[in-house]
Structure 1
Amino acid sequence: MLHSKAKWEFAEKQDSTIDLQDDTFKLSPIIKELLLQRGITTSEAASLFLSPDITTLHSPGGLAAVNKATERIQMAITKQEKILIYGDYDADGVSSTTVLLKALQELGADCDYYIPNRFSEGYGPNETAFREAFDHGFRLIITVDTGIASVHEASVAKELGIDLIITDHHEVQEQLPDAFAVIHPKCSPDYPFKELAGVGVAFKLAEHLLGYFPKHLLEFVAIGTIADLVPLVKENRILAYHGLRALTASDNPGIKALKKICKIEGRVTEEDVGFLIGPRINAVGRLQDADLAVQLLMTEDQVEANQLAEEIQLLNQERQQIVNDIVKEAEKLVHSDRVKSVIIVAKEGWNEGVLGIVASKLVRKYDRPAIVLTIKPDTSEVKGSARSIPAFDLFSNGMKVRELFTHFGGHSQAAGMTLPRENLESLEESLNKIIQEELTEDDFKQVIKISNTISVADINEELLKEIDKLAPFGMKNPKPVFEVNDIPFESRQIGSNQSHLKLLFKKDNVMLEGIGFGMGELRPYITPHTAISLVGELGINEWNGNKKIQLVLQDMRIESWQLFDHRGKKNADISPFLDNSKRNLLLSNRSTKLYSDVDQVAFSAELSSLTEIDVLYVYDLPPDLSQFKEIIRKTNPANIHVCYYVEDSTYLKSFPSREEFKWYYALLLKRKVVDMKQEMTAIMNTRGWSKERIIFMSKVFFELGFVTIENGVIHLNPQPLKKDLQDSPLYQDRIKRAEIEKTLYYSNYNELKEWFSNCMDYLESAKEEVAHGL
């Protein structure tokens, strides 16, 4: 058995009485099931989901205060007042700034933008920036993707005589800022959709200002919406769907330069935005001012755009190296043998711009919420980011200890914070207490939500095309994860470091390739003719014009018992398989202990002293098959490793026949006395027997009392008792030994596995744990 790393949750089978019927969409049963899982139960709803319609978007007029804000902005444009767009330094903030800046420029506004420096100013509006804006003649400030927690800054703006319009989508805190207008879906009772990204809110304001639907801004909306990981359902799905098409056909010099640097050709997907475009835009604000990213999206000059994209590419490479270095340092601060319910690590000098990424990597490694902070010795504060596991809401639980923070904000799965250094211990104690009260041990395990179980024969390019109609995928519309259970006809490790696993399956002329990135270490745990349960996402691997259907693995498990065959290897090394979390037992007739940390017993051990185990390692052939069967039944192993080596084989030596015994006895009867020192060679030559064969037959006769042997001279017993060859213990032992070798050593893999299976009547009641290993 190979246990899965994560907890597998299968989607509930949907009500089969609901039937999606639509002549426009000929849907397979698998896709119908996926639609039903998404709450789509009618043909009309399926049509809207599979072909998102821009005309079904809600009117921006439903957002509270949008009319008031629009009137104030239009007045500023008319009077040529200076307008400042105050943005954020991530991809959502940069795209929000770009959307509103382009809209205001189109309307002829006297406008500029400002994005705070992450390192010197931190997140969100700040008093110094507002006072400088006032000194530069700005009397209207519009925030995008930020501001909902800026209570103090709003009061500063009011004191200065600046009208502050806040557009944001982050979680609303206890007190709303006293701004001129707050445009926020969650502060808008009449607006049906509450999950817009910051760029989605900015786009709605831009649409209201322009008086028409600005399709030319959709490409920027797609970047912010996808990169900010908001739910890709309803309005966000429509905006992302059409925004990706706009990105594909974009004439924007900055977008074209980004696509070139990312090597994106043809259709732009949500994965291109999430893994290539978004991280590069984010990299700018993580290492320096985010202005460079806004300049890239705003420039009309392709040469300038190419140069800016190259700069951004270099920043992204630098960001990747910084992340790798901090992750290594952070892991050294985490004591893996006693990881608490929450991981909090802090160190002076860490770049605060990448700490969210570091926290994400720690969450994936340790399955715990993680807070990663940089220590600021000049202020005696710590500042950084947190990421969480699905079962723990960071924002709501962080708000329970809000008094510990100087600044705090974010979402259920991600947060940013600043706090006095002396509060770190209290924060750790408080969060540990909350987590221990709220979560169970199962809550810490990664969860893989599986859409359906399908067979290899179900998988074809037509199915992949249908799945693609469900895109773009993201939060609340995840890419389907399928379980496939089958026996691979090939498994191997690939990659320069052999770190990846490749499996090949074939069913009814359908070929499926399974690829597990970073799962190469599991190859030794795959045994012949054994079905494997795999979970992963389906896709197409295209190389040199050849297309292969591929299952990109997320996890795997083997639910049947396994036999690991190391026979014929002298001193086989089982150390790579040893797992101290498992109950291991080694069977051997040797007096020396083979592995210091593994219990070792002889075949002669009292059965009453044995207990149930997980893995049995058999290092020598047993002296008795029946005794060996009893040991297996008593210990109930889930997996068995056979590691024995036969140097002097009994089975390979042909067994003397009764006719041979008769001939040899007749010789002794005739001669009465035979001196083997003198006559051994003659007998060997006459019969073509080996020396060992003659000695064996002589010893059998001796045991039966037919002869006596003294100093190599055989004397016939003139009056022996009548006995059968079977009465000789040596004769019996040789038959038994040969049978043991034949059964356990010279059998093929399938024969040996069948023999063990017949000993394992306990397997039906075996229970599986959810953990990697054996």
Structure 2
Amino acid sequence: MPNRFEHGYGPNSDYFEQLHTEGTEVLITVDNGISGIEQVAFAKSLGMTIIVTDHHEMGDVLPEADAVIHPRHPEGNYPFGELAGVGVAFKLASALLGEPPLDLLEFVAIGTIADLVPLEDENRYMVKEGIRRLRRTQRPGIKALMQVSGHEQSALSEETIGFTIGPRLNAPGRLGDADPAVDLLKAEDEQLALGIAEELNDLNKERQQLVKEIAKEAQEQVEIRYGDHVPHVLVIEGEGWNPGVVGIVSSRLTEKYYRPSIILSLDRETGIAKGSARSIEGFDLYKELSKNASILPHFGGHAMAAGMSLKIEDVELLRSNLNEQAKEVLTEEDLQPILSIDVPLGLDEIDIASIEALEKIRPFGMGFPKPVFLLEQLDTISVRKIGSAKDHLKLEMGDRSERLDAIFFGAGALADEMAPQSKLSLTGDLQINEWNGNKKAQLLVEDVKCDEWQLFDYRGIREPARWLPLIPDQAQFIAFSEEAVQHFAPFFKEIPISLIGRDELHPSSAIVLLDMPQAEEQLKQVMEKTLANRVYLHLHVHDSMYFEKMPDRQQFGWYYSFLKKRETFDLYNQIDMLSKHKGWKKDMIKFMTKVFYELEFVTLENGKVTMLTSADKRDLAEAPSYKKRQQQIKLEELLLYAPYQDLKKVFNSLRETEAVEEEKLWT
């Protein structure tokens, strides 16, 4: 087993020479060698017999080995060209033995799934038969792997191999010496196998942490370099990154940005960059890398994945070349991931028996993916973040009569982007969740979509620090009063606040309403000008009028008669006495005095209220302060103290008005 850190990927002349010195006469490569033209020639010059078995893309020139065994050999006529590297080795073993070693199909299944080749034709048979055998195997190594991973052997599937067995067998080779994985599969003693399996389990955890750290650094590079303008191909390099895990990191970046990506580990001492690449449909990695052969002394792979090494000084040239090449072959549509729906369903069509019947058409994988189910316009009953780090999402969805649990791994942050009672459409894989003998259907979510606008209610959360992190970066913050601007400015620092009447509003996908509008017309203006489909409500009020209410006509009448009898009243010095006598709040007395002043019933000078005997009869509602208070109470009832459902109706009516006005404009 070559060590990828010492010998790199594929054939290595120094290693071949070492093996020859140790007495090796016949050398067989497995899953590599097809691109090792010089290395194979060197091994031949030493007098070794070389047999190359591989399934990767072939160049124009094949190595001059004694035999090149490849399912797509130009001089061959093998009927199935998609064998994995392990499948080619199995075919060679079958030929040497004179019959297929069926007991080894357990290993063929593991290797075929881990190599991400199409599960069609021979691959499909070998994986299906291999899984059947793995479920009842007595191999100590497999049994130990199942034990340390906490999985039931009798329920082993292609997913168990892809997410449990494969990564653990892969971990030691990615971090250093791959021999422990081989030792485990060859182990005949159960205790020895369990010890090695535990070692592999620990190495896998270490590998996971390493991938997480490098992926974070790589993503930060993308954000710093490109911001929102991500190029057609990502070539990201880092000094000291573990070259054994850069392929996994590349997969993460390709999945996140939907771009071909190359992750390179730089070694300043040797001046060499080593890395791995992953691609998307429409960009043949091997073909495009071949156009850069002059700066890639070592590379190999196929359309969707590749490995390579080059001089550090040539990294920028490779980045530039690949992006220019990508512009010629990739359209904007190619850079948009597409999820194909296989089966639209209603909740009433989901039952345990139907899900269990899907087991008959397994295994799923490359070339034969799981069916993707679509459930449209379901009501969101509940949304929860789950997991120790709260990084997963659990939804309870429903319609008038049915309920369904849905789990979305790695999407915990979406909980903050889902408004209550939203209607969602979900895609994913239907599974059976069995707990204490009870079976229940659940959806493993692949994607989620919301077609309606969303309203987020932060009215009861006073401290901005508690809700500010939940607001999207592009949101527009809006205030209806200068007082609110002054109140919130210290909390927001660099975030600008748009003041109604002073600042021009602009279209925005998200808005935050910091305080109460002074009139419903202002709210209409905001919705018309911003066209927001995400509205965050805080609606800060310095002095709420809703619970103070409006003094009734009897109270106004009594106070009017009181002033008329006294002719003058010292508001400053005698308000306390009047407040105690009537049980009225002093603010209410001041308010009624202001209303009388605005209606010219009284004069007010240095706190002395004087009744005017010649005052005309006027309605209370004519006073500006009366109108303002009446309007504020109405708005507070409509917006500040309304239940969420009523609040949603208010904004729905505003948005419908906006849509009608827009339609009139265009017709």
Range of TM-score over shorter length: 0.7 to 0.9
Match of 2:469 in 1: 576
Displacement, 1:630? 2.5
* Residue 393 of structure 2 corresponds to residue 501 of structure 1: yes
Tell me if 1:617 matches 2:508. no
Name the structure 2 match of 1:600. Answer: 497
Within 5 Å, give how 1:159-558 maps onto structure 2.
Answer: 162-187=48-73, 190-265=77-152, 266-327=154-215, 330=218, 336-338=224-226, 340-347=231-238, 349-376=240-267, 379-441=270-332, 443-484=334-375, 485-507=377-399, 510-543=402-435, 545=437, 547-558=439-450
Question: Which letter does structure 2 place at the counterpart of 1:516?
Answer: F
2:524 alignment partner, one of 601, 621, 629? 629
* Secondary structure, counterpart of 1:654 in structure 2: coil
Aligned mates of 2:549, 2:159 — CA distance in 1 = 66
Q: Is the CA contact 1:568–1:645 (under 8 Å) kept in the aligned structure 2?
A: no
**1:303-356 Cα distance to aligned partner (Å, 9 max, x none):** 443344344344434444544454455556556342654443445544433332
Of structures 1 and 2, the one with the larger relative CO (CA 8 A, separation 6+) is 1
Look up the equivalent residue of 1:261 and give its one-letter code. V
TM-score (structure 2 length as normaliser): 0.87
User: How many Å separate the matches in 1 of 2:279 and 2:94?
Assistant: 35
* CA–CA distance in structure 1, aligned partners of residues 660 and 142 of structure 2: 59
Structure 1 residues 382 and 639: CA distance shift in structure 2, 3 A: closer
Contact 1:585 1:598 in 2 (8 A): no
- Counterpart of 2:88 in 1: which secondary structure? helix
Question: What is the aligned counterpart of 1:152 among 38, 41, 62?
Answer: 38
Are residues 734 and 120 of structure 1, via their aligned partners in 2, closer, same or farther at CA, if it must alter by over 3 Å?
Answer: closer
* 1:243 match: secondary structure: helix
Seen in structure 2, the aligned counterparts of structure 1 residues 191 and 304 have a Cα distance that, compared at 3 Å, is: same
Q: State the number of aligned residues.
A: 650
Q: What SS does the aligned partner of 2:172 have?
A: helix
- For the 8 Å contact 1:564–1:641, the answer to whether it is kept is yes
Instruction: State the partner residue of 2:644.
Output: 749
**Deviations, residues 371-402 of structure 1 (Å, cap 9, x unaligned):** 33344556543333222344432111001111
CA distance in 1: counterparts of 2:123 and 2:661, whole angstroms:
48
Give the letter for the 2:443 counterpart: L
Cα deviation for residue 225 of structure 1 reads: 0.4
Match of 1:185, SS state, is: coil
Paired AA for residue 521 in structure 2 = S
Distance 1:322 1:696, change over 3 A: closer
Give the Cα–Cα distance (whole angstroms) in 2 for the partners of residues 718 and 311 of structure 1. 99
CA separation of 1:657 and 1:459: change in aligned 2, threshold 3 A:
same
Structure 1 CA distance, aligned partners of 2:518 and 2:642? 17
Q: CA offsets, 1:537-565, max 9 Å, x none? A: 33234455554433233343432112222
- More displaced stretch, 522-531 vs 562-571: 562-571
In structure 1, distance between residues paired with 2:23 and 2:460: 86
1:667/1:387 Cα in 2 relative to 1: closer, same or farther (>3 Å)? same
SS in 2 for 1:225: helix
Q: 1:125 to 1:711 in 2, by over 3 A?
A: closer
AA paired with 2:293?
R
Residue by residue over 1:163-197, the C-alpha shift from the partner in whole angstroms, topping out at 9 and shown as x without a partner, is: 54333211111112333433322127643321111
Match of 2:665 in 1: none
Q: CA deviation at 1:141?
A: 4.1
**Cα distance change, pair 442–678 in 1 and its aligned pair in 2 (3 A):** same
Deviations 1:462-487 (A, max 9, x none): 23213333322211222233343322
Long gaps (5+) in structure 1: 1-114, 767-774
Read off the aligned partner of 2:317 and give its amino acid letter.
S
CA shift for structure 1 position 633: 1.5
How far apart, in 1, do the equivalents of 2:445 and 2:660 lie? Answer: 28
Superposition deviation, residue 644 in structure 1: 1.8
Name the aligned partner's letter for residue 229 of structure 1: L
Contact 1:588 1:600 in 2 (8 A): no
| SS state at 2:441 partner | strand
How far did 1:748 drift? 1.7
TM-score by length of 1: 0.76
Q: Tell me, which stretches of 5 or more residues in structure 2 are unaligned?
A: 663-667
Distance, in Å, in 1 between the alignment partners of 2:578 and 2:477 is 51
Q: CA deviation at 1:221?
A: 0.9
Residue correspondence of structure 1 range 634-673 to structure 2 within 5 A: 634-673=529-568
CA contact (8 A) 2:475 2:512 kept: no
CA–CA separation in structure 2 for the residues paired with 1:166 and 1:418: 21
Shift of the alpha carbon at 1:710? Answer: 4.4
- The residue matched to 2:138 in structure 1 has which SS? coil
Q: CA deviation at 1:653?
A: 2.0
Cα displacement (A) at 1:757: 1.6
Task: Go from structure 1 to structure 2 and tell me whether the alpha carbon gap of 1:277 and 1:618 turns closer, same or farther (over 3 Å shift).
Answer: same
Residue identity in the other structure for 1:625: E
Conserved 8 A contact 1:145-1:168: yes
How many Å separate the matches in 1 of 2:661 and 2:120?
43
The one-letter code of the counterpart of 1:278 is G
**1:119-130 pair list within 5 angstroms:** 119-127=5-13
- Contact 1:588 / 1:619 at 8 angstroms: preserved in 2? no
3-state secondary structure, aligned to 1:576? helix
Deviates more, 1:664-673 or 1:465-474: 664-673
How far is the alpha carbon of 1:249 from its aligned partner? 0.7
Judged with a 3 Å threshold, the aligned counterparts in structure 2 of structure 1 residues 692 and 212 are, in CA distance, closer, same or farther, namely same
**Aligned-partner Cα distance in 2 for 1:221–1:620:** 65
Amino acid at match of 1:482: F
- Offset of 1:527 from its aligned partner? 1.6
Cα deviation for residue 526 of structure 1 reads: 1.9
Bigger drift between 681-690 and 472-481 goes to 681-690
How far 1:530 sits from its partner (Å)?
A: 1.7
Answer whether contact 1:570 1:644 (CA < 8 A) is retained: no
Q: Is the 8 A contact 2:474 2:508 kept in 1?
A: no
Per the TM alignment, residue 370 of structure 1 is displaced from its structure 2 partner at its CA by 3.1
Shift of 1:751: 1.7
Matched, 1:117 2:13: no
Structure 1 range deviating more: 559-568 or 225-234: 559-568
Computed over aligned residues only, the root mean square deviation of the Cα atoms, in angstroms, reads 3.3
Query: Cα 1:235–1:516, aligned 2, differ >3 Å: closer, same or farther?
Result: same
Shift in CA distance, 212/342, structure 1 to aligned 2, threshold 3 Å? same
Q: 1:335 to 1:716 in 2, by over 3 A?
A: closer
